[in-house]
Structure 1
């Protein structure tokens, strides 16, 4: 963590700029997230949807003393004073862009934000949300309380996936068939206040076309999670045929797990892929999910930036395979069950480098 950042950036971080009035228990699940300075209202949405502790990074790009600039600190203080849930649940860690970096065109540092919010969480387990403004709309902590065997898997270093969904951006209802989409009529837009809070309601909204499958979890070319199977699923299911572009929100241990690589401005998939190669099993939660209500403006990436990011991630894929393979070889664990993800996912990469691959 912080490998690719200068002292000017790390010195601009103020942990626990505001500390919640409650103290989380070690076994609690803390939601970790990033909130932009212009999207402070998301804090209210988070505390309304998530009943547990929350660790949030607030990144201020410009100081409030610049004429015409917004004053996020003042707005945050007003929200803190007026909302008892925010006071009780939310730890806020403040990050201010240094003067030397304010004129530079720098990508959103979401991987750094994820690491900071997770690092300063005060419980042993975290719900790591994507940086697109998605909300957990079910009580994840209650699900783990009701299934002690899940908590044992979590303690052992496994990762639990929350399938992701989007509020439809069109008022035209469409079928969710994998091969085609047929207009079936007009439906009213779904408001944030009416987001589904249970699986039955969610499936109804999907049938009506008001909620769609998120490509980050359900991309047609990625068979990590099969929607038709999940719709009737009542038990945990293990992810098969892992794809390095898989990018879900997950529940995981706060410590003893790899950190998000900060060379990327925003690449949640890189965080997940490293965890998978290191030996963590990914389990899909049968009744919990997240929904992106499309309230946060989408970050526009130029074609050039997209090309650079694609090439950088391809190199990262190869590098990660080699790093973890060498670590398993050095520890004498290449044939172990823990190394099976690396053996299977990295066959082509390791074959190019002349390493012997044996199927699990």
Structure 2
């Protein structure tokens, strides 16, 4: 094999180039495929779930794998101060459960400090890492504390062409308004969901919005028999989506945890959110202890407003360069970014004045 300078690159150097917003020392602690699924992918058009877990939320991944029974690419983020027995117990359980060792690839991340979620290695880096190592053409970034209640893998086969062109399939997510007692409480059909919604026991959950009031549109979902476009998109929208692994923009890694930023870029590029009419997920409280700090939330909010402006300008110029500015591909950015583009001045789109 011919010599390549890439061969001599250290593990940390390669990863720091792949994930430039991550801290070099933190990136050195990444071990891709710490545990590897032993069943080969039979169908590349299948869907891989992407998720991020910690030792506290490990059991959520176990439950997710048992429920999904398909490919999963997960990051496991631990502190280097963690007692070795914890990782040993996780590895032992992984190797004892077919739902894990047959289907789940785990990418281990060891960093210093107790709070794994920080600007040194943002959750956005973990999301991109899980996506990069997914072994199928389609992926679904999903919180580990979520139950996929229907056979999504069969549904996806109907819409592979739409995803090939960049569109995203939204999985409506519902939340119980009271404590779920057991697995039998989880609805498995749309009819059951509608019954629980009518009783006030279940509500549509869109993060950052009041229940039943998010862009997924609870009223439209109730009556829809086919996929429908999200009409009332806002930049904080961050639903569970199934999408192409390769077509979509990657998550911006400047944010500790801002999933909406991953989807904003795709929407401004002209891709649609298509809500699935008969599939759904159930959201549960998470066992993960470390959340984004209040300071980080304030910083992220201000950063995101700047990022929105930046994406408006960049995606507008990209569409223009691709010859798509005068097509329907630009409809989203014209609607969302008209003020930004006007404030920028003449010459942003088309030939300079």
Q: TM-score, normalised by structure 2?
A: 0.85
Aligned position for 1:313: 304
Relative distance call for 1:217 and 1:109 in structure 2 (3 A) is same
Query: What SS does structure 1 have at the residue aligned with 2:57?
Result: coil
**Distance in structure 1 (CA, Å) of the matches to 2:257 and 2:318:** 26
Q: Counterpart of 1:34?
A: 52
Q: Specify the alignment match of 1:90 in structure 2.
A: 104
Question: In the TM superposition, what is the alpha-carbon distance from 1:222 to its structure 2 partner?
Answer: 6.3
Aligned to 2:249: 258
Q: Any gaps of 5 or more consecutive residues in structure 2? A: 1-17
Shift of 1:164: 1.4
- Alignment root-mean-square deviation, CA: 2.6
Aligned pair partner of 1:20 in 14, 18, 37:
37
Q: Which moved more, 1:72-81 or 1:225-234?
A: 72-81
For 1:3 and 1:265, the matched residues in 2 are separated by: 14
Deviations 1:17-63 (A, max 9, x none): 11111111211111111111221111221122212111111111234
Matches within 5 A, 1:208-223: 208-216=199-207, 219=210
1:114 aligns with 2:132: no
2:67 is the alignment partner of 1:49: yes
The worse-fitting range, judged by mean Cα deviation, of 21-30 and 192-201 is: 192-201
d(CA) in 1 for partners of 2:216, 2:69: 27
Q: Distance in 2 between matches of 1:40 and 1:343?
A: 43
CA distance in 2, matches of 1:46, 1:257: 24
Measure, in 2, the Cα distance between the counterparts of 1:303 and 1:57: 24
Question: Offset at 1:137?
Answer: 1.9
Deviates more, 1:155-164 or 1:191-200: 191-200
Please state how far the C-alpha of 1:102 moved relative to its aligned partner.
Answer: 6.0
Counterpart of 2:93 in structure 1 is 79
The question of whether the paired residues in 1 share the 8 Å contact of 2:204 and 2:211 is answered with: no
- The 10-residue stretch of structure 1 (216-225 or 326-335) with the greater mean CA deviation from structure 2: 216-225
Q: Distance in 2 between matches of 1:132 and 1:78?
A: 20
Query: Contact between 2:205 and 2:212, CA under 8 Å: does it hold in 1?
Result: no
Residue in 2 aligned with 1:136?
148
Q: 1:60 aligns with which of 54, 62, 78?
A: 78
Looking at structure 2, the residues matched to 223 and 81 of structure 1 have their Cα atoms a distance apart, in angstroms, of 40
Report how far residue 355 of structure 1 moved. Answer: 4.5
Q: Give the secondary-structure state (helix, strand or coil) at the position aligned to 2:106.
A: strand
Q: What do the CA deviations read for 1:217-239 (whole angstroms, capped 9, x no partner)?
A: 86479662221120121101011
Kindly tell me the number of residue pairs found equivalent between the two proteins: 330
- Equivalent of 2:168 in 124, 137, 159: 159
Name the residue aligned to 2:229.
238
- In 2, the alpha carbon distance for the partners of 1:57 and 1:11 equals 15
Structure 1 CA distance, aligned partners of 2:189 and 2:327?
39
User: Does 1:8 pair with 2:20?
Assistant: no
Identify unmatched segments of 5+ residues in structure 1. Answer: 172-188
1:127 aligns with 2:118: no
Report the CA distance between 1:7 and its aligned residue.
2.7
Q: TM-score with structure 1 length normalisation? A: 0.83
Q: Which residue of 1 aligns with 2:7?
A: none
Contact (CA 8 Å) 1:164, 1:216: kept in 2 or not?
no
The CA distance in 2 between the partners of 1:85 and 1:104, in whole Å, is 26
Q: Secondary structure at the match of 1:55?
A: strand
Mapped partners of 2:216, 2:118: distance in 1? 33
